Amino acid sequence: MLSAAAAAVLLGAASLPATSSMRPAHTVAIKGFAFSPKSLTVTAGESVRFVNSDSEAHTVVADNGTFSSGGLDTNDSWTVRLQKPGKYPYFCSLHPYMKGTIVVVARGGH
């Protein structure tokens, strides 16, 4: 059985600490028990930062297990960089009705 980190490498995802010096190309707000925007298209290698503005904790978990943020308290953020083109639906494991999708396109848009 693979560790989460090993699985992420194989599937083309990298979880980055919020203190990383890398600047996120995109931000998803977690507010009002929803992800905004619900769907986001990024280029392979770009990062997506999730920021929890709710007074409740939330998580960001890929349906296929590619990434998982762990618990995000109020004002916490978490960043993921996806390298492999594809569609990555995700949800909050604490509130499964909260859903979103990241679509990753190849560099050059192909």
Domain assignment of residue 69, given as a range: 4-109
**CB 60, CB 84: distance < 8 Å:** no
Domain count within the chain: 1
* pLDDT, block means (10 residues), the chain with 110 residues: 42 49 77 98 96 98 96 97 96 98 85
Q: How far apart are CA 39 and CA 37, in angstroms?
A: 5
Q: Where are the alpha helices (DSSP H) in the chain?
A: 4-11
- CATH assignment of the domain containing 97: 2.60.40.420
Whole-prediction pTM: 0.78
Quick one: pLDDT at residue 15?
Answer: 54
Q: Is 86 left (phi over 0), alpha (psi -120 to 50) or beta?
A: left
Helix (H, G, I), strand (E, B) or coil at 50: strand
* pLDDT computed for residue 108 by the predictor: 78
> Nearest CA to 64 among 108, 12, 27?
12
